[in-house]
């Protein structure tokens, strides 16, 4: 199978350049990259005006399989990823049973090979049963193919246990993903603690619940020399701890979600459970601080924290609804519309946050489009305008507060191992007529 | 934050003035945050003649004959439920009570299913009390029936605030410039929030006072003054609204003991002397006697606590009248 | 549609004379003021009742108990209105039980207002007898109700409107027939 992507702007996140080039894919690899490529027997995509990017990697999602297949499966979740422009995903281990042992990691990999459409990198649990009490069999998890360790969904509250997780992980060169939340400070909280929680009478989650653990975990990195990745930073106050850790050369990286970059607590004012997410949507000031930190490189990665839930689970009283936003299918358009179009991030910077840096953290080959590289490609039509319609989500999780939002800048083609796994045929049909 | 201040303003004014009267356009009564000063005034004005009816020997009106009101209580509260039930009955409506203990709520039926069931029964008004903030809003979106919030979590308790305001207006005449202190657990109080919205809209100056651990963040953004010392807060006030303190808050470690709470924040005669000589004392009830308020004050000449109960029925009658009369066909007959 | 005045049927003097006659008739029918009470129906029945009461006091030298009835909550068309009639208090500061109550209103038309007033009255007590006094009876009854005392009978068509203006409410005393303009 040969694919020819004609007329696009090819984004190179390493050289930080964009060049108008044709791109040829053959046998799963990139075989041609030149201003003009003509070939007879290739499937041609007219990507004029589009950004042709190295394939995006979602460093943080929940695929729910095994155990909660009514929320999502590896089959639906990876298709949602492909539709959203992601060519690989890292899935968290808070499944049922949790991925705290070799069998679950192997199951996820097997299901991904059988039913998935993009590569799936599983995260193993840091502690047994995600209870935060005893470290899990990390050696076994590493051997089975876990790419990182995390009890994501909750923090390891016991600092001694977490210290041991960090120390032990070093032996296998696994990095640890920290869900920074002091569960005593956040107990019973459902939204950001602030004016909105005061008005609505909902229990707030203070930014301090996150910051206390960001600071603690950085201190423990200093103690252990382990490699730590801080998940879903939501508080502007967390930034200075991360910044200082990086300045001192600690092996700390951080991610932020599209919703924490683009949405605020005001979305929950009408008690919309689809905007109930953990960490909670914060204030405009936090959004500004997170954007700044992203721009400055204090935050390395944008990851979706895709957390699908069934309609039934979300259509309940606000206090009773589970946390989470179904984010894979809206991440790219939301980011493009709210960050790239207004000039907050350049296309190159966005590609660094969505492709280059996640790959580096995972230890994958450098994510650039070059001859000889594996063909994982995300193509974005920057001026394509569409309205988010959750009922058309491929993900089983329709829980998005963006339903009905019109966004500009959508993925139109996703290529994995040289094969198109998502083609916006309406878009390309339109291109041909033009 | 600026857009938050404009949040309340976003709601349209729900009253249209006509030649023959006013039109109250709201489908539901969910909170005082979204009501305008004009709407609040109309409700209080309508409650006044209702109170007169309560003094009659025959307290039965044909006004809402053939209409049905369901009280759906997910939290026990005999007092509020009875008040609504009486109000509905005095207005001539039929009432059905659904309480947690006797309904399918306990059997795991969720609010959505309950809403569907009630919808199919052709109920006109649902009065809902729920421990989760926003539950009435969710219900209101799902049913055609009119929804009255009888208290949702720590969010709002509009009918309580309206009856407090009715009592205040009866005794003080007007809200303009009135100094009102709300005393107690502000964080968990829906009564406090509804009172703050209502009173500030009507021109009163509101102070909140309580332990720092029971004071929600940014509360001053709602236009109230925050105090942590009772004596300072009560200086020269016209009205003191004393909130009920729930013992479970102590168990959760939000204040050290009932004894200390009572010592620092209990309203007694000594503290009452800081207020204006004609100060009015309110309490939404039921009172923890001797905890948040001393028996001398509770039963003393400043207390309108018993009268609040009567006024509660009048205010709820007014709301049922405003929600159920008018507005259906839009046709005017001679 | 705007209304235009078709004819004036009573002026200030006409109203005064009619009320004086009604006062005399009430006294005559009830053989004096014993147990007599007047209750005006809001809005314009109230000043009419006040004037009749003053006249009776002038004649008999004793005050007559006077009450005000707001019949809004007893209307049979509430759910069909697209506005909320503004509620006012009913003020009947005496026990009507065993009283001879004269209800006073400005115009008697379909009879529905009087029906509502009777219901409202019955909820206040059990009068010995209820009589009805109106300034104008314009016909077109929809209920079996008639007035005991009538200031003036005015045959009308249904499209016409009888507009009673009273000093206390409208600043002038007059009764006019209006009809929809062209």
Please check the confidence at residue B169 and state whether its pLDDT lies above 60: yes
Give the tens place of pLDDT for each residue, B130-161: 999 999 999 999 999 999 999 999 999 999 99
Q: Which of A58, A151, A217, A305 is catalytic?
A: A305
Do residues A417 and A310 both lie within one domain?
no
Residues in chain C: 182
pLDDT value, residue B102: 45
Taking residues A113-122, report their average pLDDT: 98
Structural domain contains residue A216: yes
pLDDT value, residue C111: 94
Taking residue A429's Cβ as centre, other Cβ atoms within 10 Å add up to 10
Q: Which of A362, A388, A415 represents a domain boundary (last residue)?
A: A362
Please check the confidence at residue A289 and state whether its pLDDT lies above 80: yes
CA B132 to chain A, closest CA, distance in angstroms equals 6
Chain-chain contact of C88 with B50 (C-beta, under 8 angstroms): no
Taking residue B125's Cβ as centre, other Cβ atoms within 10 Å add up to 24
User: A121, exposed or middle or buried, with CB in 10 Å at 0-12, 13-18, 19+?
Assistant: buried
Do residues A265 and A377 both lie within one domain?
no
Give the tens place of pLDDT for each residue, A141-178: 999 999 999 999 999 999 999 999 999 999 999 999 99
The domain total for chain A is 2
- If we measure between CA atoms, which residue out of A142, A47, A102 comes closest to residue A430? A47
Do residues A406 and A264 both lie within one domain?
no
Please check the confidence at residue B196 and state whether its pLDDT lies above 80: yes
Sign of the CA dihedral running A140, A143, A145, A149: positive
Chain-chain contact of B332 with C82 (C-beta, under 8 angstroms): yes
DSSP for A197-260, please give it. Answer: HHHHTPPEE-HHHHHHHHHHHHHHHHHH---EEE-----GGGHHHHHHHHHTT--EEEEE-HHH
User: A160, exposed or middle or buried, with CB in 10 Å at 0-12, 13-18, 19+?
Assistant: exposed
Taking residues A259-280, report their average pLDDT: 97
Chain-chain contact of C86 with B322 (C-beta, under 8 angstroms): no
In chain B, residues with a C-beta closer than 8 Å to the C-beta of C74 are 61-63
Do residues A99 and A120 both lie within one domain?
yes
Structural domain contains residue A263: yes
In chain B, residues with a C-beta closer than 8 Å to the C-beta of C70 are 49
Q: H-helix or E-strand containing C49?
A: helix C45-60
For residue A228, which phi and psi values (nearest 5 degrees)?
-125, 135
- The answer to whether residues C91 and C59 touch, using CB atoms and an 8 Å cutoff, is no
Do residues A314 and A237 both lie within one domain?
yes
Taking residues A80-96, report their average pLDDT: 98
- The answer to whether residues A104 and A128 touch, using CB atoms and an 8 Å cutoff, is no
Give the tens place of pLDDT for each residue, A295-329: 999 999 999 999 999 999 999 999 999 999 999 99
CA distance C137 to C109: 7
Produce one character per residue of C39-74: b if its CB has 16 or more CB atoms within 10 Å, e if not: bbbbbbbbbbbbbbbebbeeeeeeebbbbbbbbbbb
Listed in sequence order, the residues at least 6 apart from A429 whose beta carbon sits closer than 8 Å to its beta carbon are none
* Residue in chain B lying closest to C72 (CA): B63
CA C78 to chain B, closest CA, distance in angstroms equals 5
Question: Is A58 an annotated catalytic residue?
Answer: no
Structural domain contains residue A434: no
CA distance A359 to A331: 18
Structural domain contains residue A431: no
For residue A57, which phi and psi values (nearest 5 degrees)?
-120, 125
* CA contacts within 13 A on the Cβ side of B325: 28
Please state whether the peptide bond connecting residue A66 to the residue before it is cis, i.e. omega within 30 degrees of 0.
Answer: yes
Q: What is the largest CA-CA distance in chain A?
A: 66
Question: Do C and A share at least 3 CB pairs under 8 Å?
Answer: no
Structural domain contains residue A429: no
Taking residues A225-241, report their average pLDDT: 98
Chain-chain contact of C83 with B333 (C-beta, under 8 angstroms): no
CA distance B132 to C169: 51
Do residues A319 and A383 both lie within one domain?
no
- The answer to whether residues A388 and A404 touch, using CB atoms and an 8 Å cutoff, is yes
Taking residue A284's Cβ as centre, other Cβ atoms within 10 Å add up to 14
CATH of the domain at A389: 2.30.40.10
- The answer to whether residues A238 and A209 touch, using CB atoms and an 8 Å cutoff, is no
Report yes or no: B155 at the A interface, CB cutoff 8 Å: yes
pLDDT tens digits, chain C, 182 residues: what are they? Answer: 678 899 999 999 999 999 999 999 999 999 999 999 999 999 899 999 999 999 999 999 999 999 999 998 898 877 666 666 778 888 899 999 999 999 999 999 999 999 999 999 998 999 999 999 999 999 999 999 999 999 999 999 999 999 999 999 999 999 999 998 76
Do residues A59 and A44 both lie within one domain?
no
Do residues A215 and A73 both lie within one domain?
yes
Sign of the CA dihedral running A65, A69, A71, A74: positive
Where in the sequence is the domain holding A79, given as residue range(s)? 55-362
Listed in sequence order, the residues at least 6 apart from B226 whose beta carbon sits closer than 8 Å to its beta carbon are B207, B208, B209, B215, B219, B220
Alpha-carbon distances of A329 from A188, A371, B286, B321, rounded to whole Å? 29, 29, 51, 48
Do residues A244 and A198 both lie within one domain?
yes
Q: Which chains touch A (3 or more CB pairs under 8 A)?
A: B
Joined tokens for residue B47 = 């409650």
Structural domain contains residue A176: yes
Chain-chain contact of A319 with B132 (C-beta, under 8 angstroms): yes
* Residue in chain A lying closest to B138 (CA): A317
* Residue in chain B lying closest to A192 (CA): B217
Sign of the CA dihedral running B230, B233, B239, B241: negative
Structural domain contains residue A432: no
CA distance C86 to B50: 12
- If we measure between CA atoms, which residue out of A156, A65, A171, A50 comes closest to residue A108? A65
Do residues A409 and A311 both lie within one domain?
no
Beta bridge partners of A414: A378, A422
Q: Which of B46, B67, B71, B80 is catalytic?
A: B80
Quick one: pLDDT band at residue B14, thresholds 50, 70, 90?
Answer: very low
Do residues A149 and A193 both lie within one domain?
yes
Structural domain contains residue A367: no
pTM (2 d.p.): 0.90
* 3-state per-residue secondary structure call for chain B: CHHHHCCHHHCCCCEEECCCEEEECCCCECCCCCCCHHHHHHHHHHHHHHHHHHCCCCCCCCCCCCCEEEEEECCCCHHHHHHHHHHHHHCCCEEEEEEHHHCCCCCCCCHHHHHHHHHHCCCCEEEEEECCCCHHHHHHHHCCCEEEEEEECCCECHHHHHHHHHHHHHHHCCCCCCEEEEECCCCCCHHHHHHHHHHHHCCCEEEEECCHHHCCCCHHHHCCEEECCHHHHHCCCCEEEECCCCHHHHHCCCCCCHHHHHHHHCECHHHHCCCCCCCEEECCCCCCECCCECHHHHCCCCECHHHHHHHHHHHHHHHHHHHHCCCCCCCCCC
Chain-chain contact of C85 with B20 (C-beta, under 8 angstroms): yes
Beta bridge partners of C174: C165
CATH of the domain at A263: 3.20.20.140
Joined tokens for residue B128 = 């809902």
Taking residue B10's Cβ as centre, other Cβ atoms within 10 Å add up to 9
CA C19 to chain B, closest CA, distance in angstroms equals 26
Do residues A146 and A194 both lie within one domain?
yes
Please check the confidence at residue B10 and state whether its pLDDT lies above 60: no
- The answer to whether residues A138 and A169 touch, using CB atoms and an 8 Å cutoff, is yes
pLDDT value, residue B278: 97
Sign of the CA dihedral running A27, A31, A35, A41: negative
Q: H-helix or E-strand containing A121?
A: strand A120-124
Q: Which chains touch C (3 or more CB pairs under 8 A)?
A: B
pLDDT value, residue B334: 25
Residue with tokens 């209409």: B67
Give the tens place of pLDDT for each residue, B239-277: 999 999 988 887 788 999 999 999 999 999 999 999 999
pLDDT value, residue C180: 87
* CA contacts within 13 A on the Cβ side of C13: 0
- The answer to whether residues B27 and B146 touch, using CB atoms and an 8 Å cutoff, is yes
| 3-class DSSP assignment, residue A72 | coil
Q: What is the mean pLDDT of chain B?
A: 88
- If we measure between CA atoms, which residue out of A232, A416, A402 comes closest to residue A333? A402
Taking residues A270-276, report their average pLDDT: 96
DSSP for C117-182, please give it. Answer: HHHHHHHH---SEEEEEEEEE----SSS---SEEEEE----TT-EEEEE-HHHHSS-EEEEEEE--
CA A416 to chain B, closest CA, distance in angstroms equals 42
Alpha-carbon distances of B100 from A120, B71, B105, rounded to whole Å? 46, 11, 6
Cα A102 off chain centre by: 24
Name which residue leads in pLDDT, B56 or A48.
A48
Task: Delineate the domains of chain C, giving CATH numbers in brackets.
Answer: 12-161 (3.40.50.2020)
CA distance C3 to C163: 10
């Amino acid at each position: 199978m040969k694919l020819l992507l004609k007329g696009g702007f090819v984004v190179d996140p390493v050289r930080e350049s964009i060049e108008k080039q044709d791109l040829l894919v053959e046998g799963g690899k990139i075989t041609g990259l030149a201003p003009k490529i003509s070939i007879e027997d290739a499937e041609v995509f007219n990507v004029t005006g589009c950004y042709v990017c190295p394939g995006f990697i979602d460093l943080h999602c929940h695929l729910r399989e095994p155990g909660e297949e009514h929320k999502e499966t590896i089959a639906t979740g990876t298709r949602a990823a492909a539709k959203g422009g992601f060519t690989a995903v890292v899935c968290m281990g808070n499944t049922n049973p949790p991925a705290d042992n070799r069998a679950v990691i192997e199951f996820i990999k097997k299901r991904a090979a059988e039913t998935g459409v993009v590569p799936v990198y599983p995260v193993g649990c840091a502690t047994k049963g995600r209870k935060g009490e005893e470290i899990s069999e990390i050696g076994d998890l590493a051997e089975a193919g876990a790419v990182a360790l995390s009890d994501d969904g909750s923090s390891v509250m016991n600092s001694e246990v977490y210290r041991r997780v960090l120390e032990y992980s070093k032996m296998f060169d696994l990095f640890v993903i920290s869900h920074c939340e002091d569960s005593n400070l956040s107990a019973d909280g459902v939204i950001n603690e602030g004016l909105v929680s005061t008005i609505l009478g909902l229990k707030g989650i203070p930014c301090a619940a996150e910051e206390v653990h960001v600071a603690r975990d950085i201190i423990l990195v200093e103690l252990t020399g382990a490699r730590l990745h801080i998940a879903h930073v939501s508080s502007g106050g967390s930034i200075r701890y991360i910044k200082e850790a990086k300045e001192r050369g600690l092996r700390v990286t951080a991610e932020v979600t599209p919703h924490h970059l683009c949405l605020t607590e005001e979305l929950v004012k009408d008690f919309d459970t689809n905007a109930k997410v953990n960490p909670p949507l914060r204030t405009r000031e936090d959004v500004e601080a997170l954007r700044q930190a992203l721009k400055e490189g204090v935050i390395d990665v944008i990851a979706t924290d895709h957390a699908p839930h069934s309609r039934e689970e979300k259509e309940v009283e606000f206090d009773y609804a589970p946390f989470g936003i179904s984010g894979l299918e809206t991440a790219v358009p939301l980011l493009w519309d709210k960050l790239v179009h207004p000039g907050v991030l350049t296309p190159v910077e966005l590609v660094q946050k969505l492709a280059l840096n996640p790959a580096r953290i995972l230890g994958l080959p450098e994510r650039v489009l070059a001859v000889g590289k594996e063909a994982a490609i995300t193509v974005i039509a920057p001026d394509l305008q569409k309205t988010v319609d959750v009922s058309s989500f491929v993900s089983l999780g329709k829980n998005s507060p963006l339903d009905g939002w019109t966004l500009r800048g959508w993925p139109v083609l996703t290529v994995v191992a040289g094969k198109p796994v998502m083609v916006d045929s309406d878009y390309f049909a339109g291109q041909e007529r033009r | 934050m600026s857009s938050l201040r404009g949040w309340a303003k976003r709601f349209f004014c729900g009253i249209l003035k006509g030649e023959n009267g006013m039109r109250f356009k709201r489908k539901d009564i969910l909170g005082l945050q979204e009501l305008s000063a004009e709407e609040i005034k109309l409700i209080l004005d309508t409650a006044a003649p209702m109170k007169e009816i309560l003094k009659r020997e025959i307290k039965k009106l044909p006004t809402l004959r053939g209409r049905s009101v369901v009280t759906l209580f997910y939290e026990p509260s005999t007092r509020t439920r009875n008040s609504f039930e009486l109000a509905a009955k005095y207005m001539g409506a039929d009432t059905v009570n659904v309480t947690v203990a006797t309904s399918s709520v306990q059997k795991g039926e969720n609010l959505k299913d309950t809403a569907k069931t009630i919808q199919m029964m052709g109920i006109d008004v649902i009065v809902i009390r729920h421990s989760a903030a926003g539950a009435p809003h969710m219900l209101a979106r799902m049913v055609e029936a009119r929804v009255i919030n009888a208290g949702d979590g720590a969010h709002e308790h509009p009918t309580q605030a309206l009856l407090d305001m009715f009592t205040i207006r009866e005794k003080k005449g007007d809200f303009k410039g009135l100094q009102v202190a709300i005393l107690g657990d502000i964080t968990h109080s829906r009564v406090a929030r509804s009172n703050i919205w209502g009173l500030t809209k009507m021109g009163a100056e509101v102070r909140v006072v309580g332990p720092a651990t029971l004071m929600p963040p940014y509360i001053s953004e709602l236009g109230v003054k925050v105090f942590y010392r009772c004596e300072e807060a009560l200086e020269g006030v016209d009205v003191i609204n004393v909130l009920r303190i729930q013992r479970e808050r102590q168990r959760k470690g939000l204040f050290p003991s009932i004894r200390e709470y009572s010592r620092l924040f209990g309203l007694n005669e000594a503290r009452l002397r800081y207020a204006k000589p004609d100060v009015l004392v309110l309490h939404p009830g039921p009172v923890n006697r001797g905890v948040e308020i001393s028996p001398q004050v509770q039963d003393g000449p400043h207390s309108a606590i018993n009268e609040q109960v009567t006024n509660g029925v009048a205010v709820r009658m007014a709301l049922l009248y405003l929600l159920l009369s008018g507005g259906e066909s839009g046709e005017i007959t001679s | 549609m705007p209304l235009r005045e078709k004819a004036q049927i009573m002026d200030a003097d006409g109203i005064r004379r009619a009320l004086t006659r009604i006062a005399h008739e009430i006294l005559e029918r009830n053989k004096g003021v014993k147990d007599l009470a007047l209750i005006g129906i809001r809005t314009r029945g109230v000043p009419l009742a006040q004037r009749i009461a003053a006249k009776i006091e002038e004649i008999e030298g004793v005050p007559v108990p006077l009450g005000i009835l707001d019949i809004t909550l007893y209307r049979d068309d509430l759910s069909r209105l697209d506005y909320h009639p503004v509620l006012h208090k009913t003020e009947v500061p005496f026990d009507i039980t065993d009283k001879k109550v004269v209800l006073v209103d400005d115009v008697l038309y379909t009879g529905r207002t009087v029906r509502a007033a009777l219901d409202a009255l019955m909820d206040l007590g059990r009068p010995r007898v209820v009589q009805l006094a109106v300034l104008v009876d314009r016909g077109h009854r929809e209920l079996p109700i008639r007035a005991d005392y009538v200031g003036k009978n005015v045959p009308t068509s249904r499209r016409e409107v009888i507009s009673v203006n009273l000093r206390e409410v409208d600043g002038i005393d007059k009764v006019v027939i209006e009809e929809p303009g062209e």
